[in-house]
Structure formats: C-alpha cells, structure tokens
Amino acid sequence: MIPFLPLGAINETYQPALSEAALQVIQRGWYLQGEATKTFEQSFSRFVGARYCVGVGNGLDALTLSLMALKLQNHWGDDAEVIVPDMTFVATAQAVVRAGMIPIFADVDDDALLTPCLAEQVLSSNTRAVIPVHLYGKAADMDAFAAWADERHVILLEDAAQAHGAFSGKKRVGSTAKVSAFSFYPGKNLGALGDGGAVTTDDEDIAHAVRTLANYGADRKYHHIVQGLNSRLDEMQAAMLSVKLPRLDQDNQHRQHIASIYAQHIDNPLVKVPYQGDTVHSVFHIYPLRCSERERLHEFLQSKGIQTSCHYPLTLSQQPIFETSDCRTPHAREWARTQISLPISPIMTEEEALITCEAINQFNL
Ligand SMILES: *Cc1c(COP(=O)(O)O)cnc(C)c1O
C-alpha cells in the first residue's frame, strides 16, 4: 500500500529527538507561554525573515487574529470586505467572518492561485484587504500583489498555511505581506503533533495586538482592553516544532524530487501535471494532478493500493455556509471538479513514486 501521508512514520524519522524534547517539557512543569514557545517564535521569525512571530493555537486563529488586529488598527467597520480566492481551505474565509468582516470570493488562475488581476475583478469601495493563499505549496506572486495593494490602498495578508519554506521571488513566504498566517496542523509541511499556528509580521503594533487578542484581550494580568480569544501555541507543540524546523528545507527538497519524478514519468492524455512540469517553485504540500474523470482515477488507484485525496471538492462559494449564487469563478470550479492529490511526503521513496506513475499511465476509460 502507498499511503497518502504516513504521519506516524514521518515523525518516527525525527526520533529520539521528539521524545527527548517532550520529556523536557513535561519535567520543566511549565506548559504555556514559556521558553519553548519563545525559542520557537525566535527561530521561526528568523527562518521566514520577519521581525516578529507570535505563536497561536491553530491556523484559523492565526488568520482570525491577524484580521482582528488589522480591523482595530485601521478602524474598519463590519462592512469591510476582504478578498479571498474561491479555491482554498475553508478557514481562509471563515477567519474573515469570525473577525466580523465580509469575505469576497475571487477566481483563481491555472495554478489555482489568486492574482492581482483576478482580485481587481471583485474590488469594491469597501475592499479593505486581500488574502492570497499559497495553495498546494506554490507561492502567489507577492511582488505583484504588493504593488497592486499599495495602489488600491488595500492591506495585503498572506495565508501561508500550505507553504512553509516556499519563496515568492527572493523572499520566503511569511515575510512578503503586512501580516502572514501559518498553521502547524500535523499534516502541513511543518507540522506539530497537535494543533498550532503562528502570525509573522514586521509591524510591531500588529504583533503586539495579535498577542494581546490571543490572550483574552489582556494588556496585563486580569486587565482586559479588548474582546479577545484564548489561542496560544503550547510549550509541547513549540518544542516539537523546534525539533522539526531545522530539517524543513531538506524535507521540502525531497517533496520536489518526488514531484519531478511525477512530472517526468506521468504520461497519460487523461491527466494533467501541475505547473507544466515545473518542480522548483512549489514546496508541494500537495501534488495537484487534474483529471476530468477524477472519481474513476481515485477508484482505480485505490484498487492498486495507492491512496489519493482531493483539495478541494467544492469551492468556497459552493459551500452551504457561504452559498453565493451570483459568484462567477469558473476556474476555481474547474479545479474543484478535476483536482486529485497524489501521495507526496518527505519519506516517500522513488520506487513508490514510480509505481504511482505506472498506475496512472495504465488508467483509461
Ligand atoms: C490548514 C489550513 C488552514 C487552517 O489551519 P488550521 O491549523 O487547521 O486551523 C488555513 N488555510 C489553509 C490554506 C490551510 O491549508
């Protein structure tokens, strides 16, 4: 069997360091807001090239808290609109709603990414921010977005939950927007052993506001200046992440190597490899193949012992919680109809990748 993402086996390759770090946290007897979190925040901000990093409870909270901080800082009202791509994980838009604003869904391009041109199509006089998502591990063109956002007086955030370590131009994601949100959900390229997230920024006031909002809106103990949340990266997860961060680039390179095997050996007119075979501009959180007979390909590969998944079967505007019937996002909907995710991980072998290619090449109608 070729598993989609064997998390236990992946984390086994970091042993015994994970167990040793966990034991230290247990023995220190200090489980929140301690030295493990501080150490990880420092190394992660250095890694992405941002001045500040605030560890939070998960990726949804990282996005929500970023938006709450911006809303306060800029005195936005509840009619503020935030542009998000229609093809992304639901959290990108749920964060906008939780922060008391309105998500506006834009179409995506042939790489499933938002572009300034597509954002422009849904721009309104109420647009206050835009959130490009580095979907599947490929960074959106953040230089182009920075210029566009500047010109339109719109704040640029980034949802970097799928792209730890990726570059947009010369910068790592996490340092290419006013505020950046990360998730350390176990299956991400940098994954904790539970929930975790982070906000990175160069803006001291935003970093401070996020930390305050994430701690019940308290500026000091038992003194609450704003309605906040309880959302913290805990010491155990921070310690796990500090063990895993030093190997992130190497893990991403392995993913790119697997992607290059896919790009070279998949040869079937019924499927389309991503990025026209380019395998250096993504960290391949997901390997997004496209096939108009997606369900049948999934069943066929399943019968050969190869697990696949789909990211995502519905666009956000097709979700019951949003159900916006007047939304025109044909490319996003095409992705939702045809996308199928192949196995890819830091421990997948060349042999497993070749077996997968061979099976895909045997697929016919
Ligand atoms: C995983 C993910 C999130 C949410 O992260 P959680 O830690 O699961 O809350 C947000 N956006 C994108 C694009 C994601 O893939």
**Each residue's pLDDT tens digit, 59-96:** 999 999 999 999 999 999 999 999 999 999 999 999 99
Tokens of residue 93, six digits: 């838009």
**Which protein residue has the closest C-alpha to ligand 1 atom 2?**
161
| Position 356 pLDDT exceeds 90 | yes
* Model pLDDT for residues 95-113, shown as the tens digit of each residue: 999 999 999 999 999 999 9
Number of the ligand 1 atom closest to the C-alpha atom of 134: 13
Closest CA relative to residue 238, chosen from 48, 63, 55? 55
* Model pLDDT for residues 127-147, shown as the tens digit of each residue: 999 999 999 999 999 999 999
Is residue 2 within 8 Å of residue 352, measured between CB atoms? yes
Does the beta carbon of 158 sit less than 6 angstroms from any atom of ligand 1? Answer: no
Does the beta carbon of 185 sit less than 6 angstroms from any atom of ligand 1? Answer: yes
Is residue 324 within 8 Å of residue 105, measured between CB atoms? yes
**Which protein residue has the closest C-alpha to ligand 1 atom 14?**
161
Does the beta carbon of 197 sit less than 6 angstroms from any atom of ligand 1? Answer: yes
- Give the Cα separation of 98 and 61 in Å (integer): 9
Percent of all residues in the chain with a pLDDT value above 70, rounded to a whole number = 100
pTM score above 0.95: yes
**Which protein residue has the closest C-alpha to ligand 1 atom 6?**
59
| Ligand 1 centroid, distance to 47 Cα (angstroms) | 20
- Give the Cα separation of 213 and 226 in Å (integer): 7
pLDDT, residue 17, reads 98
- Give the Cα separation of 101 and 78 in Å (integer): 5
Does the beta carbon of 60 sit less than 6 angstroms from any atom of ligand 1? Answer: yes
Is residue 322 within 8 Å of residue 92, measured between CB atoms? no
Tokens of residue 300, six digits: 């066929």
| Ligand 1 centroid, distance to 89 Cα (angstroms) | 6
Does the beta carbon of 212 sit less than 6 angstroms from any atom of ligand 1? Answer: no
pLDDT, residue 344, reads 98
| Ligand 1 centroid, distance to 214 Cα (angstroms) | 17
| Position 192 pLDDT exceeds 80 | yes
Per DSSP, the three-state class of 282 is strand
Per DSSP, the three-state class of 9 is helix
Q: How many other C-beta atoms lie within 10 A of the C-beta of residue 217? A: 17
| Ligand 1 centroid, distance to 209 Cα (angstroms) | 21
- Give the Cα separation of 186 and 170 in Å (integer): 27
pLDDT, residue 326, reads 75
Is residue 116 within 8 Å of residue 148, measured between CB atoms? yes
Taking the alpha carbons of 140, 146, 148, 153 in that order, is the dihedral positive or negative? Answer: positive
- Give the Cα separation of 109 and 60 in Å (integer): 24
Per DSSP, the three-state class of 341 is strand
Does the beta carbon of 92 sit less than 6 angstroms from any atom of ligand 1? Answer: yes
- Residues 34-62 have a mean pLDDT of 98
